[in-house]
Amino acid sequence: MTKKTIHIEAIDTLFFRDGKPFSMGEDVWADGIFPPLPSVIYGALRSAYMFQQGITDPTQVIENTKNFILHNIYLLIDNTPYFTMPLDLVKFKDKDENEAKKIYFLKREPFNTGSNECPEILYTPLRKKVDELNKGILSKNRFVHYLNYNESEIFADSLSKYITSEPKIGIGRDNNSRTTSGEAEGKMYRVNMQRLDNAEKNKLKIAVEYENLTLDDTGIVRFGGENKSVFYKHIDQSQVPNLHLKTENLKSDILRVYLNTPAILENGYCPKAFLNSNDFELLTYAIGKPLFAGGFDMAKQAPKPMYKAVPAGSVYYLKAKNPQQVFEHLYQNNPFNEIEGFEKQGFGKFYIGTTPNN
C-alpha cells in the first residue's frame, strides 16, 4: 500500500492524558497534554478500522494491522503545517512589539568537567534574560528556515492561542452497579478539557501520514480519554510537505537532529547510536521534561508498561566526519528506533538541520 494522509478535526472538546498513573479520589486533578502521544492516534485509527470492517475479535485486528505504520504527525492551523518549537531556540524578554515573536538560537561553547559526556553546552546569546513562550510552535516556512539556520527569519507563535481550556468536574462510577454510590463514593476528579479553535481562518487540526491500513475516505473516530468524536478526511498526497533538506544544503560538518514526535529510548534521554559512533561525535543536546507513555494492550486486555519519552522539540548536535554520509545514514537507519514496536506507532520521527561551524 502507498502512504496516505488524513486531517483530523475536533467536533467537541478533547482530553488526552499524559500517561502518568491517575486514581480518582486520590489525585483530584488529571493532567492533560496536546498534541496527543502518537500511540493515542495509532490506537484510535486501529479502532476505526475495527469498527469500519465490522471486526469484533481483537486478535484478528492485531493480525490484520501488524504492518500498520504511522510515518509522521504534525499540526495544522488554517491548513498550514506547524511544528513544536525546537528547544535550542529562545525568546528574549523585550517590550518591543516588533520583537514579540522573534526567536534566537542558543549558542554553543566548550564545556569540560571530566564527567560530562558532551564537550559543549548551549547558552543564551548576549546573556539576556529569556521569556517563556507557552507551547511555542513554528509554521512550515519558519521551520524550514530553522533547519537551514536562517536565524533572521525565525518567528514563533503560541499553540495556546488556538486552544481554550474548559475544566470539567466528574465522579467515578461503581464498576458493578454503574452508579455513583458504593465504591465510587469519594472518587471526584477534575480534568482540563481542551476545545480546539474551529474558526475557518484559525482551525486547528492534526495531520497524520500512515501506511498499510484500510480506512474509509472520511469518517468519525473516537479520540482521547473520554472517547469524544473527531472527524477525519483523506487529502491528496501532493499537499503533504517534504521538509527534508538536500545534502548540498549542509553548511558544515555539524548536524542538528530535531525530534518531531516523542521518542522512547532505553536510557531515557539519548539514542545509544549518538553515544557510540565512529562516524560522528555528540556535541551537546537540548531536551525537555519527559512525557509518560503507557496505553492499553489490546491482545492482553491489560495496561501496557509505562515508559518515559523524550518530548518533541528536543534537539541533538552532532559533529560528523562525513556530514553528507551521516545525514543519509540517519534517515535510512532511525537512531530513535531502539525499543521494538514504537517507531511504527509514530514515535521518534525526526528532521535533520544544518548549522555553521561557529
pLDDT over 90 percentage in the chain: 57
For residue 216, the model assigns a pLDDT of: 97
Nearest alpha carbon to residue 19 among 339, 259, 304: 304
Q: 127-140 pLDDT, tens per residue?
A: 777 777 778 999 99
Q: 27-76 pLDDT, tens per residue?
A: 556 667 889 999 999 999 999 999 999 999 988 999 999 999 999 999 99
Sorting pLDDT into bands at 50, 70 and 90, what band is 167? confident
Q: 251-298 pLDDT, tens per residue?
A: 899 999 999 999 999 999 999 999 989 999 999 999 999 998 877 776
- Asked if residues 354 and 249 have their Cβ atoms less than 8 Å apart, the reply is yes
Q: Where are the domains of the chain?
A: 4-72+196-239
How high does pLDDT run on average in the chain? 86
- Asked if residues 259 and 336 have their Cβ atoms less than 8 Å apart, the reply is yes
Sorting pLDDT into bands at 50, 70 and 90, what band is 179? low
For residue 345, the model assigns a pLDDT of: 96
What own/partner pairs with CB < 8 Å and gap ≥ 24 does 212-217 have? 212/1, 212/65, 212/67, 212/68, 212/69, 213/1, 213/45, 213/46, 213/49, 213/65, 213/68, 214/49, 214/52, 214/53, 215/4, 215/6, 215/45, 215/48, 215/49, 215/52, 216/52
Sorting pLDDT into bands at 50, 70 and 90, what band is 93? confident
- Cis omega (within 30 of 0) on the bond before 81? no
Q: 5-22 pLDDT, tens per residue?
A: 999 999 988 888 766 655
What is the rounded distance in angstroms from the CA atom of residue 335 to the CA atom of residue 357? 23
DSSP type of residue 148: T
For residue 16, the model assigns a pLDDT of: 83
Nearest alpha carbon to residue 202 among 356, 82, 42: 82
Q: Which residues contact 212 (CB under 8 A, 6 or more apart)?
A: 1, 65, 67, 68, 69
Q: Which residues contact 129 (CB under 8 A, 6 or more apart)?
A: 92, 93
Question: What global pTM score does this model have?
Answer: 0.90
pLDDT over 70 percentage in the chain: 85
**Which three cell numbers mark 226?**
473520554
**Which three cell numbers mark 184?**
465510587
